[in-house]
Amino acid sequence: MPEKPVSIIDLIKQQIRKEESLPVLNPKATRVQAEALKAEPDFAVLTRLIRMDPTLTTQILKTANSPFYKGLGDVDTLKDAVIRLGQNEMVNIIMKVVHQQNFKSKNTLIRKYQNKLWTHSVSCAIGSLWTAKYLSMTELVPKAFIAGLLHDMGKLYLLTAIEKILESDTAQFKPPPQLIDKILDNLHAALGYNLLNKWHLPDPYRVIARDHHSKELDPSNLLLMIVRVSNAVCNKMQSKNENMDISGIVSSREADILGMSEIGVAELEIALEDARVNKPLN
């Protein structure tokens, strides 16, 4: 009796169970992240760790001297950059650089998906931070950028698994882009929770990765509501459907819970358009 052919979904699940597909952070990045996410990070320790990473050092100095901060004079030391940027901005830059390293596949197809995912993640991060500030939710401002940045990391997990299978020369594994899109959309939420757990991210970020598409909403989780609204606006902007407008977002339960008006949603979209040209975190 011939063996039953293995489905693409089964292949991916088998690959994920091996945990060879788990995107990992190098030990240096893990230490920097652990210190940055403390309630009261020790900036002397953080500065020392950053100095050991040329990429982080360059990015922080570049941001501190960017047009966004122009007029404040040049800074050429990490100490001065830390003072200029402040704790929240520093942590956001650190998290952005730390996690960007996992978006550098050598496979052309996978890299194309990673680039699209990274662009969306950064846009959602900027949108979430803007929304928290716009709504004067001061206590959520330190978490908003990170929550938006990491909400779709389950897709990164899946892309890494797909890349491993492609490298294995599995004959029956030749998924068309439409199928890859469907796999990413349908499977990423639970895997995102698992990945952020393995990365030792705090619970609020794991919950958002798991629940940002859930039909059941927890109205008390305002950070999740912010990410969902920002994600919806980003998706609308990235859609090729020219007839799509913001009315569905404005009338959503998330916008209602947040008290986000039509003007607020429209201003968020404008802010994201502007961020494409002038990003203080780039």
DSSP letter (8 states) at residue 259: T
Round the average pLDDT of the chain to a whole number and report it: 87
Whether the pLDDT of residue 241 is over 80: the answer is: no
- pLDDT tens string 248-272: 999 999 999 999 999 999 999 999 9
Other Cβ atoms less than 10 A from the Cβ of 201: the count is 21
Burial profile 213-244: b = 16 or more Cβ within 10 angstroms, e = fewer? eeeeeeeebbbbbbbbbbbbbbebbeeeeeee
If phi > 0 it is left, if psi is from -120 to 50 it is alpha, else beta; for residue 203 that is alpha
Ranges for all domains in the chain classified under CATH 1.10.3210.10: 104-282
CATH no. for 104-282? 1.10.3210.10
Half-sphere exposure of 60 (CA within 13 A, CB side): 31
Whether the pLDDT of residue 127 is over 70: the answer is: yes
Answer yes or no: are the C-beta atoms of 81 and 61 closer than 8 Å: yes
Map tokens 């939420």 to a residue.
189
Whether the pLDDT of residue 277 is over 60: the answer is: no
> What is the mean predicted confidence (pLDDT) over 161-170?
80
Other Cβ atoms less than 10 A from the Cβ of 92: the count is 23
> What is the mean predicted confidence (pLDDT) over 195-215?
95
